[in-house]
A = this chain, B = another copy of it.
Amino acid sequence: MPGEIMGRHDFHAAHACSPGSDYMIDRDPSTADERSERVRTLEHKGTPASIRTLTIRDVARLAGVSPITVSRVINHPELVMERTRDAVRLVIDQTGYVPNMLAGALSSARSRLVAAIVPSVTNLIFLETVQALTDRLRGAGYQTFFGFSGYPGTREDELILAALSRRPDGIFLTGVRHARKTRERLLAARVPIVETWDLTKAPLDMLVGFSHERVGAVVATRLLQLGYKRFYVVTADDERALRRRRAFESTLRRHGITDVQAVEVPAPSTFALGREAMAHLLSTGFHSGVIFCSSDTLAHGVLTEAQSRRLAVPGRVSIVGFGDLEYAAHTAPALSTVRIDRVGIGVRAADALLASMSGEPARDKVIDLGFEFVERGTTCQQ
């Protein structure tokens, strides 16, 4: 009785299909008795097949082929005759067999996994990059898994170790500053790496980013050009933000402006911190000027506080953010900002990794995507 022979309900309790036809694979010339025997062999170390996860051998037996053929049907179907392929696929469908990629990866030394280290999911600025990256990689058959480095007490080295222990085929990093030990580990792993969101002269491998120094300098230069006289900074206590600030200030200094008041707030930036920072500026003598903020979120808070104090924007206060977040543009049309190609970073990084993982000799090891100063309501009226 075919149903019994195949132990259908043992393999996959919820599976239902009309009896008889399902397993009548024409490639399999064995008698019912032989197949019945095969099913008995599915018993394994005393564990009946019914409560064991199916393996490639189970599928192979049921399809009357060898395990390697099943493996080929899954990974290189073009190497297998159509007849055989269909037979195997039928069994896979009907048993609900799920390949074990842990075993596959171990055996082939290819995990089809890419590790992405990003500061946080909740920081909106990285969202589209993450999405673009995952999308693109998935299209090429890779899964992306994340490590979040932005929480206090999360050491990058630990994350990298955790990531490497899954033997990813590629690594995406946010930032270019890593502890020496981390760099060593990364290099020792001999895995394609793409650092992003910054530039450096000594990348670990590939690099897709933009210059934070140049951001600070460009914003300062442009604001001077627009005629602003009084400059302020509201910045999160974040490595890259501080480098933007430093470049901003030193550019101004080169133009004789040395009294740039700065408010530093703890990372991560929030709307509330922006409000507080503005309140602080006002309480310490702010009268008018342009405020360079380290993120749109902070800028949004600054703007809101300014408006709630009835300061004319941009008459009295002009505000520059960073990141060009969608929501900020909708919310605060009077906010200037620095636009980063967030999607581009994800796409380029994915492409770089994919090329490298497939053994291509990388053409551009370093891609500078630049940025754009988006002026909204920063005509100087002061």
Contacts and interface: CB of A to CB of B under 8 A. Distances in A.
A143 B166 contact: yes
Interface string A143-178: 111101001000000000110111100000000000
B96 A167 contact: no
Contacts of A331: 300, 327, 331
Interface residues of A, number: 54
A102 B130 CA distance: 24
Nearest to A186: B14
Contacts of A130: 121
Interface string A37-69: 000000000000001010000000000000000
Interface in A169-222: 180, 183-185, 187-190
A124 interface: yes
Contacts of A151: 135
A77 B184 CA distance: 26
Contact of A164 (B98, B120, B143, B167): B98
Given A121-B130, A127-B122, A330-B271, A102 B300 contact: no
A326 interface: yes
A319 to B, nearest CB: 15
A100 interface: yes
Contacts of A301: 330
Given A121-B131, A327-B331, 13 more contacts: A98-B161, A98-B164, A98-B189, A101-B165, A102-B102, A102-B106, A103-B106, A122-B131, A271-B326, A271-B327, A300-B330, A300-B331, A327-B327
